Copies of this chain bind each other. A is one copy, B any other.
Amino acid sequence: MTAANEENEQKIIDKLLGIDDFHELTVRVDDTDLMQVVHANKYLNYFDDGFISFTSKLNKDCGALHKQGIVFPVRKIEVEYINSATFGDNILIHTRVIKVGNTSITLAMNCYKNTKSKDTLLVKGIIVRLIMNINGKKLIKITDFFSNII
């Protein structure tokens, strides 16, 4: 890799590390279970939404990315469940990149219950994702992907 390439790559990494994305959604009835709070698995959907919101900051049309065969499989998650939310609650998902690997990107994703006066931390997640071309089943280098869409 030339020095120019390396510098360019570092710029993209720095840009990714500098983004704070906030995404809001409302809890569905079907997100809850008989405990009358959001089921643990639904936060993974919220993390999907947060990641789409994050990439949409850089490139508006995620649907278009998909039509090109780009997908973002999950490699690893760590989730701590702290408080619970229920139907009708507004959820705020705060997404930050905390590590850019060669073919993986690590995100810190916190979900908050968003009320007028204050926010309650619901869930803290660390998610490692890959970026893949589904057609060739080929991993894409993270900085290559983002240099193309930024």
Contacts and interface: CB of A to CB of B under 8 A. Distances in A.
Q: Secondary structure of the A side of the interface?
A: mixed
A74 to B, nearest CB: 4
Contacts of A26: 52
Interface residues of A, number: 40
Nearest 3 A-B pairs (CB), nearest first?
A63-B88, A41-B44, A40-B74
Contact of A62 (B61, B66, B88): B88
Interface string A79-121: 1110010111100000000000000000000000000000000
A108 B74 CA distance: 19
Interface stretch (A1-9, A13-21, A30-38): A30-38
A42 B45 contact: no
B76 A81 contact: yes
Given A29-B33, A34-B86, A63-B89, 17 more contacts: A29-B35, A30-B33, A32-B33, A33-B33, A33-B34, A34-B66, A34-B71, A34-B87, A40-B44, A61-B88, A62-B87, A63-B88, A64-B88, A65-B88, A73-B81, A75-B80, A76-B78
